[in-house]
Amino acid sequence: MSRIALSRSYACKMGGTVIHSIDTDMFVLRYFMDCMGCNFCHDICCSYGVDVDLENVARLKAAPQSLKDFIGVPDSEWFTDEVTQDPEFPSGAHVRTKVKDGRCVFLNRQARGCKVHSWCLDNGVDYHTLKPMVSVLFPVTFDYGVLHASNEVVDGSLACYNTGPTCYEGSRDELFYYFGPELVAELDVLAVAQKSASA
């Protein structure tokens, strides 16, 4: 795949991340997308925890008790202690969610999916305010201003690799939320060009 510089930089509405380039792999590589409709991956992508901005950590810890009760693990056990400085995160730093018995502490082991996401939907809360942005965007991610498919898709290790829509198609609405309509409009044009080139 190739790297393309965008016509301009696009800043995340949350702060931190500014996208100036993309890898065209996200227009080609595919994944299942309908996570809750999947009956074969057993939430394997929730095995490693995820980077969480420190401001997001504060919002989660300040959330209502009903969320904490639903998580079922004390909030003192939600995150690792190691803080990584990273200007691409809104606060400039992040930690990771802890892994408990081989899965992210927020995984719903009695049902499926992320407990933070489920609680938000059940309680009329915009999940973008509490669920880590890296999780929401997966399997698209960013590094040093470059938007691209996540490593698990690139190397083919994702359990649902090569099925369903492209990484861009699956993450398009979330990119719209975080980076706005202008970025998506430019990416739409690039996606069509990539499809034509691959035909």
pLDDT, residue 111, reads 75
pLDDT, residue 160, reads 45
Backbone torsions φ then ψ of 61, nearest 5 degrees: -70, -25
Residue type, 185: A
pLDDT, residue 38, reads 47
pLDDT, residue 101, reads 85
Stretches where the chain sits below pLDDT 70 are 1, 31-47, 112, 153-162, 199
Backbone torsions φ then ψ of 48, nearest 5 degrees: -115, 0
Beta strand extents in the chain (DSSP E only)? 3-11, 18-23, 30-31, 51-53, 84-85, 93-96, 99-100, 103-104, 140-143, 146-149, 161-166
pLDDT, residue 153, reads 67
pLDDT, residue 161, reads 45
